[in-house]
Homo-oligomer: A and B are copies of this chain.
Amino acid sequence: METSRPPDVPAARTGAEGEGDSPAARKAGRRARSKAAIRTVNERAILAAAESVFADYGFKGATTRLIAERAGVPKANLHYYFPTKLALYRRVVDRIFQVWLDAADPLDTIDDPRTALTRYIHAKMDLSRQYPLGSKVWASEVMHRAPLIQDYLETRLTQWTADRAAVIDRWAREGRIAPVAAHTLLYMIWATTQHYADFGHQITTLNGGQELSDAQFARAKEEVTAIILRGVGLQA
């Protein structure tokens, strides 16, 4: 059983309750003082631990005992902040989905195919590098037929995909890229970039047991981008 601490994840906003954490509380860090700071620190620790455990075992395989252990709080305390395992999971998934949507910005704001695709692929690769747990949680959820995020898939993701597909289709119609099906292209980009997170362990093993160095990863990022750009008829 894994007991190592999760890698530190960039701590996004923790929740929507909007507790105001004073500067003093912020500094407290390890040794929490004020009530507000205590809540902030503990919620973040639990959410980070939960993300790592859900990434490791999926929803069903994860245990609240292990989450509490990794967060460094008693199990009963975890249930004080998050009433059920499911509620905790939803909070984790909410955050992941938000981060993903934010990464798609280039496809909305840039009309040059080469620039837009390059930036989008780079953003997705960077996410896989810096935030692999989110990708794994998402993959787990979808592989298990998405019992808990089906509404996301059916509403927000469907709309998002349709909008971006329209842009890509227009590029193809205008002859600015080769006539590829937009969905196929998007799936390829998602699959390839997320592979570096979801299958990171396999990549590490095939790299002689060493995690990809920053230089190796940067090269992979360029190569992936080049292959896809050429693949849609753009000189890389």
Contact surface of A with B, Cβ cutoff 8 Å: 2, 55-61, 136, 139-140, 142-146, 150, 153-154, 157-158, 161, 178, 180-181, 183-185, 187-188, 190-192, 194-196, 198-199, 201-203, 205-206, 209, 219-220, 223-224, 226-228, 230-233
* Number of copies of chain A assembled together: 2
Question: What residues on B are CB-neighbors of A202 within 8 Å?
Answer: 142, 146, 153, 157
List 8 additional A-B contacts (Cβ < 8 Å) besides A57-B144, A139-B199, A143-B199: A2-B145, A58-B58, A59-B61, A60-B61, A61-B61, A146-B205, A180-B223, A230-B232
23 contacts between A and B (CB under 8 A): A57-B58, A57-B61, A58-B58, A60-B60, A61-B61, A139-B143, A139-B198, A139-B199, A140-B140, A142-B198, A142-B201, A145-B201, A150-B205, A154-B205, A157-B206, A161-B206, A180-B226, A191-B192, A191-B195, A226-B231, A227-B232, A230-B230, A230-B233
